[in-house]
Structure formats: structure tokens, C-alpha cells
Structure 1
Amino acid sequence: MNMKNSLLKSTEPRLLKPVVENASAPYQLICFPCAGGNASMFQSWADFLGADIELLGLHAPGRGARFAEPAFDNMDALVNCLLDEADVLERKPYILLGHSLGARVAYEFAKRATQLGYPAPLHFIASGSRAPNGPKVSSPTHSLPSSEFMNTILEMGGIPDEVRESQEMLHLLEPTFRADFKIAEQYTSTAIPLDCPITAICGDEDYKVPEGLVKKWGSFTTSSWCVRCFSGGHFFINQNPHVIPEISRLIVRCFALFTKPKMDMVS
């Protein structure tokens, strides 16, 4: 690592940091939010994960505590900064989970990090996201005039009521939404597989990301994969009370299976 990268790591806020502090946990779940979202959308997951799993999230500029900073509008720039923090992947076994755009950010990060020799995730969970090589189902929105752009965003749902009802807040957040949607609409990747199982989850009423596009995640793994469809739209993870408990059980099982062979060898 050169001196410049060392200096950046020590002075700039980290992108990947705990959503809920649990540093002594032996495992970590690293979550990537949707376009316009922040890591707080995963805060309630900690209640279902137990004490053995530390919950980390992407705390990106342009939202939350980093609201005053300009948001990334380019996948390469975002992932290059994430790679400066790839040491987090060496600290303890981990699972990656991303919703919508967050799934594709998580994939690009994992792909490039493992190519550099960092450990692969134990499992990859893509939620409400087309695969990176999937066709786009709608025309680009990030360059629409302001009123059309915001109407499109609001129609998708997922924006908290206190934000939806405040024109001032919507105006302030518009640059961040545009930046995220620019990444979402311009990023593609060929199917370079990860060396871990993939679970893709989706909503059965998600007209933006139908199940057919979600199934394309199967070509992004050298291991097993499955698709699980829940009732709900694009933000089914917020709408359906069964989703978080069920996916949390999958995460807990994955870490338990990772631990079990070691225990069997000892016994």
C-alpha cells in the first residue's frame, strides 16, 4: 500500500462501518443499501442476527451523517474507494447482502476484491436486483427533468413518509438520488462468478425487477444458487414482515455450517 492510500485511510471517514456496534462478534454481515438509501435501512436486522454476527453497512456520501458530501455517480469510483477498505474482509468470515443497486455494488466490490486476493464471502444475497448482465427494463431516469425524475422515484416507493411529504427534503436529496440512479442505469458486468453460493430474493409484484431478471444471478457463482420470491413490490423487504426473519435465519445457518466442520474435526 502506498503512502497516499495509507493517509486516505487514516483521515477520511470509512465507507464500511458498523450499523450496530458488535466488534467482538466472530462473523460479519456487510449490507449495501438501495439507490438513495443509507445503512440505517438495515438497522432492525440486528435484532434477528444474534450476538455472533456484527452488522456493517455502506455509509456512502450524500446521505445520513455524510449528507453534505457529494454522492458517487460512478461505480468504478465508488468501488475503488471501497477497495481501500477491503481489509475488513480479512477480519472475520463474512456474508454480503445488497438491496437493488446495493446488490450490484456488493457484487462489483466482491468481484474485484477477490481478484486482488481477499477472501470470498461465505454467501452472497442479492435482494430486489437484476443481475449485473441483465437488460434494463426501463429507460434511463437519472437525466429526466426534475419533476419527472422525482415523480418516478416516488412511484417506486421506499422513501420514508417524512421525506415524501417535504418538498424541501426531496429537493435536497435529489442530487443523491440522481447520482445513485446514474450508477444503477450505467453499470453492467459480464458474468464473472464469485466462489460462494448466491441467494437471490425478489418481490412477486416488483414490476421493475421481475423474477426472470433475478434468475440471471445464477451465472454469477461457481457454487449453488437459488431464487426466493416473497409477496410484495420492489421494497418487499420493508413491506413483508416475514422477509427479515427468514433471511436472517439463512445467514445464521450459513455461519453455523462454516463453523461445524471445524468443530467436527476437533471432536
Structure 2
Amino acid sequence: MRGTENRSADRWFRRVKRCPNPRVRIICFPHAGGAASFFRSWAEFVPDDVELIAVRYPGREDRLLDPLAETMEELADPIADGCSQFLDAPLALFGHSMGASVAYEVAVRLQAEHGADLAGLFVSGRSGPGREKRRSFAGATDDELIEDVGLQGGTDAQAFANPELRGLILPVIRADYRLVDGYQAPTSRAPLDTPVVAYYGNEEAELDRDSVAAWSSVTGSTFTLRAFDGGHFYLVGHRQELLAHLLASLGHGPATATGTTRPL
């Protein structure tokens, strides 16, 4: 029975870089409209003793036929249950944009329901709880969605020029935007016991230092804030530097970037 449960949980995860006996595992949560393959290029910057895993959201790539999630609970609950199989080694979570909120919700569940002591929660490109901005794209036209994605810099515009790809991508983006707009993190929760690091691009119009610093409220442990040059997808051009900072925060090698740690 346990093997069947693991296979069911594994549909949520793709091992980007395998390690049989990792010193730490990092689970990565994609952005709205994103997929596990976004993190494929990270493998070359991760040491051999670190296992890198990406979350496979339903409705895209090799889960194309699975129904899209409509609420945060539909993502966070099964992912947290699946993550429980990875607690035999130190575990860290990284999430970008929508993925930051999903990673946070998974961290809350892992601590509350599984007694997990996470090595770190890394959130990127997202305002902290209480500072989320509702973007109200529920009734947006296809062209408005495409324009917004282009401004964010997330999906190659050529993908929308292909009618078949456009038909696959737009429902995913629309559903994820709707999920994000319908989500608001409770602000009265007990804080995590986990160190939290928040990253953002200093050229992004919809985020600023204060809104990202609001992530400090979710932890009773250390909090670090780090800005990179660039917009919402700053991490594409700074993946090596970002990973160096992340790994250093986990005690794996020297940091190549500096940030601000409490007090803010």
C-alpha cells in the first residue's frame, strides 16, 4: 500500500537533479502559468550532494489531462502530503511568484501536520501576506492575458503565435491568475520555525522592498531580504547568483550575494 501512495504522490514531483543520499533537498514551485521544466536549467548550478525537485502542477506538460486547480488548498494539501516522503533529509522550499504562496502554504502544513523542521523557505517575486495585490484578471480577454504575460516577461511571445500552443497555455494562465486572485494568506497564524529568505527584482513595478519584506511576519526565525537587478523574472538572468545565495543560506558554500537580515 505504501508503494502505491508514493507513486500517487510522485505525480506532483519531478527530480531535476537526483542524489541518492542528499545533504539537503530543495523543492521548487513554479510561477503562474509555469511548469516544472522552468527549473531544468538549475541542475548545473547545484552541487552533487543536493537533490533538486520541481513541483508538477496539474494541467500542464506531463499532467496535461489532469484538471487545473481552482483553489490554493487543491495545490497545497496534496503537495504537502507528498513532501512528507522527503523528510529523511533536510528540506528547503523555493517558490517564485504564485509559487511563493504555494511554497509557504506547504511549509505551514508540513510544520503543523507533519512536525517538519524545514531547513529554509525561499520566496521570490511575491509580496508577503497582507500585502498581496489583487490583479483582477478573472474576466480578462485572451489578448489582455497575453499582453500581461508579455509585460511580466514569463512566456515566449512566439508560443502565443502558435494556435495549438496558445490553446494549451491560455487556460493554464487564466486558471492560475484566478487562483492567485482568490487567495489571501491568513495573517493570524502562528509563525513558522523556519528561516525565510525573500528575493525580488528591483525593477518590478508591482513590488517594492516593503511589500516583499512583509514575509518577515511569517517566521519566528531569521529573515533575509535580497534584491536583484531586473523585473519579475530577474531569476532567469541571475539563476547562478540566486542559487549561490540560496545554497549559502543553507550552509552550502560561500555566498556570492548579500542581503539584509533582521532587523529590517
**Equivalent AA in structure 1 for residue 19 of structure 2:** N
**Equivalent AA in structure 2 for residue 71 of structure 1:** L
Q: CA deviation at 1:125?
A: 1.0
Tell me the secondary structure at the aligned position of residue 87 of structure 1. Answer: helix
Partner of 1:167: 163
Partner of 1:256: 251
Alpha-carbon distance between aligned partners in 1 of 2:14 and 2:181, rounded to the nearest angstrom: 26
Alpha-carbon distance between aligned partners in 1 of 2:235 and 2:119, rounded to the nearest angstrom: 22
Give 4+ residue runs of structure 1 displaced > 6 Å after superposition. none
Q: Which of the residues 113, 116, 125 maps onto 1:119? A: 116
Q: CA deviation at 1:204?
A: 1.0
Determine if contact 1:89/1:119 at 8 Å carries over to the other structure. no
Q: CA deviation at 1:161?
A: 4.6
Partner of 1:144: 140
Q: CA deviation at 1:248?
A: 1.9
Q: Which of the residues 154, 157, 174 maps onto 1:158? A: 154
Change (3 A) 1:254 1:162: same
Q: Which of the residues 213, 217, 220 maps onto 1:219? A: 217
**Equivalent AA in structure 2 for residue 147 of structure 1:** D
Q: Which of the residues 27, 32, 37 maps onto 1:30? A: 27
The CA RMSD measured in Å over matched residues stands at 2.3
Gaps of 5+ in 2: 253-264
**Larger deviation: 102-111 or 5-14?**
5-14
Q: CA deviation at 1:130?
A: 1.1
Q: CA deviation at 1:8?
A: 5.5
Q: Matched residue pairs, number?
A: 251
Alpha-carbon distance between aligned partners in 2 of 1:163 and 1:251, rounded to the nearest angstrom: 31
Q: CA deviation at 1:24?
A: 3.2
Alpha-carbon distance between aligned partners in 2 of 1:106 and 1:97, rounded to the nearest angstrom: 7
Tell me the secondary structure at the aligned position of residue 178 of structure 1. Answer: helix
Partner of 2:79: 82
Mapping of 1:49-198 within 5 angstroms?
49-136=46-133, 139-191=135-187, 192=189, 193-198=191-196
Alpha-carbon distance between aligned partners in 2 of 1:64 and 1:84, rounded to the nearest angstrom: 22
Q: TM-score of the superposition, structure 2-length normalised?
A: 0.86
Alpha-carbon distance between aligned partners in 2 of 1:251 and 1:154, rounded to the nearest angstrom: 28
Q: CA deviation at 1:6?
A: 8.0
Cα offsets for 1:201-235 (capped at 9, x unmatched): 11111112222211101111101112111111111
Mapping of 1:1-20 within 5 angstroms?
9-11=6-8, 14-20=11-17
Alpha-carbon distance between aligned partners in 2 of 1:150 and 1:215, rounded to the nearest angstrom: 29
Q: Percent identity?
A: 30
Q: TM-score of the superposition, structure 1-length normalised?
A: 0.85
Alpha-carbon distance between aligned partners in 1 of 2:18 and 2:161, rounded to the nearest angstrom: 32
Tell me the secondary structure at the aligned position of residue 206 of structure 2. Answer: coil
